[in-house]
Amino acid sequence: MILEKGIEKEIEKDVMQEKIAIVKEMLKEGIDIDKIAKITKLPVEEIKKLLN
């Protein structure tokens, strides 16, 4: 059970890192923040943090 929870957390972490990489590429391409938020299901505030 503990191992399964650890694996789930690692998978969630990997998925989030991949989303962040995708968001950064979308920002480089000039895609609107609101559109990125809609596509990735990430809050606009989180995306704005990635701009810095």
- DSSP assignment of the chain: -HHHHHHHHHHHHHHHHHHHHHHHHHHHTT--HHHHHHHH---HHHHHHHT-
Residue 51: is its pLDDT beyond 90?
Answer: no
Residue-wise pLDDT for 17-48, tens only, equals 999 999 999 999 999 999 999 999 999 999 99
Domain boundaries, the chain: 2-50
Residue 5: is its pLDDT beyond 90?
Answer: no
Q: Name the pLDDT band for 2 (thresholds 50, 70, 90).
A: confident
Q: Name the pLDDT band for 52 (thresholds 50, 70, 90).
A: confident
